[in-house]
Amino acid sequence: MNPTVLNPTDAAYPVRLHERLATHAPDTLYIVGSPELLSQRKIGLFCSVRCPGDAILGAYDAARNLRDQGLSVVGGFHSPVEKECLRILLRGKQPIIICLARAFGRIRLPSDWRGALESGRLLLLSMFERRPPRPDKNSTAYRNECVAALSDEVLIIHATPGGEIERVSQLIEGWNIPRRKLG
C-alpha cells in the first residue's frame, strides 16, 4: 500500500489541523483513499476502552443513525465499541475517515474495508511516516488529538474519568466543537 503524501501547502491538507493544533499539527499526512473526504463536514467518534452497557447500546443506535443519515464520520476506531461502530458504518454508504495511530508500513487491510475504499468512501490517514509500526500510548494520544482537530462535531460515547478520551474531551471543549448527544 503506497500512501499519498499531503503537506500543509497542498490544497487537500486540512487547515483545521493548524488552526487547532498550531505547532503541534502534523507536518505531513499519509493517506490512502479519496482526499476529498477531508473537506467534508465530519463527526468525530470517541469511546473509552471500558464502557458501561447502556452506553454500548446507545453507541450502536447512534452509529446506525449516522449511517442512515449519510453523515461523514472520523475516528481511530480502536476501542471495542469504536470497532463495532465502524462495522455498522461500513454497511452504509456514508464517508468514513479512519485515523491510524501507526505508520502504514505493512498494514493488512481488513476485507470489510476494501469495498468502501474502492468505492471512494473510505480514507485511511496516518500522521506517522515510519514509526511506530504498532499503536502505542503516545501515538494513540496524538491520533485522538488529530481526530478531534479534524472534527466539526463530536460524539463521545463514553469517557472514563481520568482517561485519554476525557483528556481529549477537554481539548474539544476548549476548541468549542459541538457535541452530539448519545441516542
What pLDDT, in 10s, does the model give residues 14-65? 999 999 999 999 999 999 999 999 999 999 999 999 988 888 989 999 999 9
Number of residues that make up the chain: 183
Largest CA distance in the chain: 45
How deeply is 28 buried, as exposed, middle or buried, from its count of CB atoms within 10 A (0-12, 13-18, 19+)? middle
What pLDDT, in 10s, does the model give residues 47-60? 999 988 888 989 99
Kindly state the average pLDDT of the residues 104-114: 87
Cβ(122)–Cβ(36) below 8 Å? no
What pLDDT, in 10s, does the model give residues 116-169? 999 999 999 999 998 888 888 999 999 999 999 999 999 999 999 999 999 999
Q: To the nearest whole percent, how much of the chain has pLDDT over 90?
A: 84
